Structure 1
């Protein structure tokens, strides 16, 4: 879904003055010059060597910050946190739309009621479920183990794609499915603090996320929406959906804790998450498929290492071996030309 948006058509304007310096003023009876096209503002240039570390830093920071919020600060309200992030993102994307050209891709999308109800709404519901479940898993499982389980996302996407008949299975993909599944099974077998509730929640999050990705391929096929454009459309819908279920999940409890947490923590936490999406736009724009894959693998390794160093997470030798197999399968999957 992270594709480069096409440049929006520049706005036509009538110039305030058409004279060059030193030229005499034309008579009032002269006709106005025809409208000219304003030159589009160029997008900021940034190199791969710069954006990859920035994206990795924000990606790792979001997860570690959320984990710090849930455990160190004892603010165990993932539904509220996700709702706050989405609300902040909905406002942030609209501010950027009016002040920058980062969301010019919205000009190429003809959003109407039919498209909203049949495409945006069902994908947004899956997106919301994925975010809530994946954040809730951090209450039960370590950051390192959750990252290892996320390697199974690729398998879930393949299986749902095959079931939906939008992709055909073959021996190579079947081998990749077996390779990743075997690696993830070893990491689960080697988990020293296994929690069944957390495992089930994360497994459901994987199913929701994989379904969302397949649904995007089916309903938004051929539409160019980069991470910020997608967030622009999905964040408000997800935030409203979360607000509807918040009273039945966490109630007013998170609001009573806001005074203890303070606005600085909440705003900085949402800013880090929002800047991750901004960095993702530039990353997709400059990075090849191989670079994106290797950056993602390196980010996961750094995140697991940071989890061990900062939160004393325990990683067994069997998990290291199993995750190495899963990562090899993941790299193989993402470099075979499969979306």
Structure 2
């Protein structure tokens, strides 16, 4: 199911409903076949009709529609939050200052961090009307997600008319090996030129009910701040790490730098060393006494050849080894 072209295709269909022509070629979007259920189907039953609907109309439209140069004051934003390792939390995606009836929108988001996992996206309890179909494309490899609200072809269009409110909720989990850091939850803006010369953009966009007015709202990124208590405070609320852990380096593969994180449940002598595939020592990153806590170390492999390397953490009671790949 191609969500990349879904927004443009649906906007073209809105223009056809409105009686307009879409794209520079002036071709009308093909109307979806009539028939089927008259009552609103369950979400699982609507997926296949939506796929067929998008396949039909996407043939008749240009993939890159120009964004209308008009004043629009709407802003899409993502909340910020403080979390700790092991937390499961939601981040609302909001719209404010909306002054146009919205019949479709797409929000591509990047959440680049080794410590965050996007578990799900929920549209329950949001300002999205029942006539809009929530679509999600979560790419865990690139840590990007595209959220779309598209009109259900089986129902009459009921646009979003609220000036502000929550559009969706992103549900994340924080890794137990997370270290103190700030993670930006930002939008994606990426335009490419296809072989036919048509320019196709992945960006935050919204459309009115006519399908003729497609605009880019403002965008305000969110921040996830990971806080790891490492000492017991006067109020007794502080916590020390409960277990020994050597995290997978990030990024991996890397070129030429990467970060290695580890946690110590108790004070100990620490030796963190990198070896090559032959078992030869490349560099010692840490060699000394460390209090209980969470640590991260930068490894710069500049000057080293591409290949597989191992890093080993030795404390007085534990030993752990992990593999990483340098790819130049």
TM-score of the superposed pair, with normalisation by structure 2:
0.20
Which of the pair is proportionally richer in strand? Answer: 2
Which of the pair is proportionally richer in helix? Answer: 1
Higher normalized contact order (CA 8 Å, seq sep 6+, divided by chain length): 1
